[in-house]
Amino acid sequence: MASESILRVNAVDKAFGGIHAVDRCSLTVLPQSITGLIGPNGAGKSTLFNIIAGLYRPDGGEIWFDGTRIDGLPPYEIVHLGLTKTWQIPHELRNLTVLENLVLAAKGNSGERLLNLFFRPRQVKRDEKQWRARAREVLKLTQLDGLANEHARTLSGGQKKLLELSRALMSDPALVLLDEPVAGVNPALTGSLMDLIEKLRQGGRTFFLIEHDMNVVMNRCDWVIVMHQGRRIAEGRPEMVKTDPVVIESYLGG
Amino acid sequence: MASTSSGGIPNQAAGRKLPWSEVIAFVAIAVIVLAGVLAGVLAGASPQGILTNVGFYASIAIIFAVLALGFNLQWGYTGLFNAGIAGFYLIGAYTMAIAITAPSPPIVIGGIPVYPGHLGGYSLPLAVGAILAMLAAGGAAVIIALPALRLRADYLAIATLAFASILQILANNLQSVTGGAIGITGIPKPITFVSANAPFLNAITIVGIGSAILLLFLLLLQFMAESPWGRVLRAVREDEEATMALGKNTFNYKLQAFALGGALMGLAGALFAVTLGYVSPSSSFAPAVTFSVWVMVIVGGSGNNRGVIVGAFLIYGLEWLSVQLKDYVPIALAAGLPTIRLLLIVVGLIAVIAAGVFVLFSRYMPTRGWGRVLRKIQERGWVRNGTIGAFALYGLGWVFVFLEQYKPGAIGDTIFYTRLMFIGVLLIILIIYRPEGILREHKRVLR
Ligand SMILES: Nc1ncnc2c1ncn2[C@@H]1O[C@H](COP(=O)(O)OP(=O)(O)OP(=O)(O)O)[C@@H](O)[C@H]1O
Ligand SMILES: [Mg+2]
């Protein structure tokens, strides 16, 4: 049925003390889609993303990414498999510059291994140069290029969101989990960012994003999954979800 | 100063301004050394004696600088708090002592064992001893870090603190290995001199070798820490979870930084053993050493390798200077008492007159020329702070004068015994006005 899915979450469970944040949640994401994840505050969306990215260990269930079982793997191995997550609350590396934040997010930069510094200086130099150039390209896409050499801590809230997205793109992921990517970003930029995401999707990437901005969800996602109290309660095309009585009930009933 | 490099790629902002903080730091160090020299001259020491003394300052400051470089790699770059610097230092010193010293059999006098001897007597070359010291201390760092780095951050501090205390107790009680309370003596010098000038020549060689080692490791650390590898360390310091989510095995980086830092501390211990010629579980490896290194790194500027070296030379310089002044200050105070009293009276009179004039004229202050300057001074609150400070100093002056008359010599001693408090006050002032240290961590501008 969902054999061609890029991400499959199967009965994943997570409780914090008495709070059952994710409750036997199952869902799939199709490759090259822009799939939206919506639900009221506290529905467990961010928690689910953190579990998928390996930052929380699930209490039960399985997660499959591109044919590999990834639950229980450390976050850095999941990134190397091609799955990257951004944070709802930006986790910028404050005292590094914007450019450093991006270059750091690249995979396989040989200078990040200590011995290579001494035994492969030429490759180190070449890699670093290549990744800096790539980082500048990405910054142009997200319109942060003017701030390349500023400390990340000096960015505004919206700019930090852009930094999150830019960093995610640096690792060349097949699947990107975006936790509220445009919250706090001004409307004009939101449009061009979603255009960028659309373009990247056409280039073969998959996006799975949490968003409260219904404009974005309705106009940009081609599939929407609704979460409530830790479970998937509905899914479908945006226009169908919008009119689903169960969904309306969960939002209004809180 | 040498510009930093990142895997050979230039990393420095173009068009640097005059580095004022560096100028101030170097002037401060120069003033400390000159004051020490002056104290020697006034005490009537021979030129060679004074130079030997300055050499001693430099060699111990170099040792602290190596410790500070190690701690800076762990804490300044990676955010790993080491509360047991003294422990790694001790391991290095004892490893060096055991490796390079000639055999020393137990001493028994009248059937009573006076000295149990110690492990070793291998008479290895100094360089081999230093490498062993680094391996031993680095290995110890790995053994502690493997469990502690997997836990929450504060456990590392607790583990290292316990480790250092245990080592000091072991050094005291593991007599057949460490020589117990007496320790290990007769550690050979790099070059054996047989002349009346031996202390002087020894000081010169030690400073020479120490400076070369310090420079070598500064360059090496600068190369490593300012590389892509070092960038990951700084990322771990900023936010370990985020760094992990960006695809880095943060545990490996923490382990590497902690082990290399520990090895550097071991090297400092090896230098210490050779500089003093003996090691014993005395104050040299007490927690105070750890605290000193913290202060040096914070004052100098954590995350800046040159800064922490400056911090070491400054803080140890104050300590050294206070010893130099210990004998001189009481004499000078006693001799200068009438002058000081006169000075206080004159200053007091001038202050009263100046204050009166200022109060009278501040109402009719002109808006141009001098008036503007005065107003600006007033706006910035300098008058209030300055007045408070001046009164405090003035009162202190009179307290000194009366105390000195009542109990001559007491003040000089008090100054000596409150020197740590003085350093503490300096630290507090610095943390308030410049929390990032004298030489702050620079921004890495990539091109
Ligand atoms: N680390 C944690 N410790 C304890 N409780 C947590 C933790 N993280 C999340 N929770 C709780 O789990 C529930 C789900 O939170 P989560 O952040 O996943 O919601 P969300 O759907 O992302 O909400 P929002 O739309 O507000 O971001 C909430 O009740 C939250 O308080
Ligand atoms: Mg959330």
Ligand 2 centroid vs A196 CA: distance in angstroms?
23
Is the separation of the CB atoms in A152 and A163 below 8 Å? yes
Mean pLDDT of chain B: 86
Q: Where is average pLDDT lowest: A93-107, B102-116, B188-202?
A: B102-116
List alpha helices for B43-152, DSSP H: 47-71, 85-100, 126-148
Q: What is the mean pLDDT of residues B429-443?
A: 87
Least distant ligand from the CA of A42:
1
- Residue B367: is its pLDDT beyond 70? no
Confirm or reject contact between A138 and chain B (CB < 8 A): no
Q: What is the mean pLDDT of residues A75-101?
A: 97
pLDDT at residue number A1: 43
Which of B235, B244, B248 lies nearest to residue A96, judging by beta carbons? Answer: B235
Contact check, Cβ <8 Å, A124/B7 = yes
Q: What is the mean pLDDT of residues B185-197?
A: 85
Residues from chain A that touch B302, judged by Cβ atoms under 8 A, are none
Is the separation of the CB atoms in B210 and B126 below 8 Å? no
pLDDT at residue number B366: 61
CA distance A130 to chain B (A): 12
Confirm or reject contact between A76 and chain B (CB < 8 A): yes
The closest residue, in CA terms, to atom 3 on ligand 1 is A16
pLDDT at residue number B369: 66
- Residue B111: is its pLDDT beyond 70? yes
Residues from chain A that touch B304, judged by Cβ atoms under 8 A, are none
Which of A93, A99, A121 lies nearest to residue B242, judging by beta carbons? Answer: A93
pLDDT at residue number A218: 92
| Chain A interface test: which of B9, B444, B446 (most A C-beta within 10 Å) | B446
- Residue A156: is its pLDDT beyond 80? yes
Which of B228, B241, B242 lies nearest to residue A112, judging by beta carbons? Answer: B228
Ligand 2 centroid vs B47 CA: distance in angstroms?
72
Q: How confident is the model at residue B377 (pLDDT cuts 50, 70, 90)?
A: low
Full-model pTM: 0.88
Q: Judge if the beta carbon of residue A39 lies within 6 A of ligand 1.
A: yes
Mean pLDDT of chain A: 93
Confirm or reject contact between A66 and chain B (CB < 8 A): no
DSSP state of B285: G
Contact check, Cβ <8 Å, A76/B232 = no
Which of B231, B244, B447 lies nearest to residue A75, judging by beta carbons? Answer: B244
Q: Where is average pLDDT lowest: A66-70, B103-107, B170-174, B361-365?
A: B361-365
Q: What is the mean pLDDT of residues A106-132?
A: 96
pLDDT at residue number A252: 66
Confirm or reject contact between A233 and chain B (CB < 8 A): no
Confirm or reject contact between B241 and chain A (CB < 8 A): yes
pLDDT tens by residue, B336-351:
778 888 888 888 888 7
Residues from chain A that touch B73, judged by Cβ atoms under 8 A, are none
Q: What is the mean pLDDT of residues B378-406?
A: 78
d(CA B169, CA B171): 5
The ligand 1 atom nearest the CA atom of A47? 18
pLDDT tens by residue, B144-166:
999 999 888 789 999 999 999 99
List alpha helices for B226-381, DSSP H: 228-238, 240-245, 250-276, 287-300, 305-362, 370-379
Max avg pLDDT among A236-245, B22-31, B260-269 = B260-269
Contact check, Cβ <8 Å, B228/A103 = yes
CA distance B256 to chain A (A): 9
d(CA A249, CA B280): 76
Q: Where is average pLDDT lowest: A248-252, B209-213, B276-280?
A: A248-252
Place of tokens 């809180």: A254
Q: Which residue has the higher pLDDT, B143 or B39?
A: B143
pLDDT at residue number B154: 84
- Residue B2: is its pLDDT beyond 60? no
The ligand 1 atom nearest the CA atom of A227? 21
pLDDT at residue number B62: 98
pLDDT at residue number B9: 43
- Residue A59: is its pLDDT beyond 80? yes
Residues from chain A that touch B256, judged by Cβ atoms under 8 A, are 114
CA distance A62 to chain B (A): 20
Query: pLDDT over 70 for what percent of chain B?
Result: 91
Longest dimension (CA), chain B: 92
Confirm or reject contact between B147 and chain A (CB < 8 A): no
pLDDT tens by residue, B205-234:
999 999 999 999 999 999 998 999 999 999
Residues from chain A that touch B248, judged by Cβ atoms under 8 A, are 76, 104, 112
Ligand 2 centroid vs B157 CA: distance in angstroms?
33
Residues from chain A that touch B227, judged by Cβ atoms under 8 A, are 111, 117, 124
CA distance A211 to chain B (A): 20
Of B329, B334, B330, B351, the C-alpha closest to B395 is B351
Of B269, B334, B316, the C-alpha closest to B67 is B269
- Residue B12: is its pLDDT beyond 50? no
Q: Which residue has the higher pLDDT, B339 or B268?
A: B268
Q: What are phi and psi of A232, to 5 degrees?
A: -85, 120
**Residue-wise DSSP of chain A:** --TT-SEEEEEEEEEETTEEEEEEEEEEE-TT-EEEEE-STTSSHHHHHHHHTTSS--SEEEEEETTEE-TTS-HHHHHHHTEEE--SS----TTSBHHHHHHHT-S--GGGSHHHHHH-HHHHHHHHHHHHHHHHHHHHHTT-GGGTTSBGGGS-HHHHHHHHHHHHHHT--SEEEEESTTTTS-HHHHHHHHHHHHHHHHTT-EEEEE---HHHHHHH-SEEEEEETTEEEEEE-HHHHHH-HHHHHHHHH-
Confirm or reject contact between B443 and chain A (CB < 8 A): yes
Q: What are phi and psi of A67, to 5 degrees?
A: 85, 0
Q: How confident is the model at residue B194 (pLDDT cuts 50, 70, 90)?
A: confident
Confirm or reject contact between B7 and chain A (CB < 8 A): yes
Q: Judge if the beta carbon of residue A31 lies within 6 A of ligand 1.
A: no
- Residue B322: is its pLDDT beyond 60? yes
Q: How confident is the model at residue B365 (pLDDT cuts 50, 70, 90)?
A: low
Contact check, Cβ <8 Å, A93/B239 = yes
pLDDT tens by residue, B45-64:
889 989 999 999 999 999 99
Global ipTM: 0.94
Confirm or reject contact between A73 and chain B (CB < 8 A): no
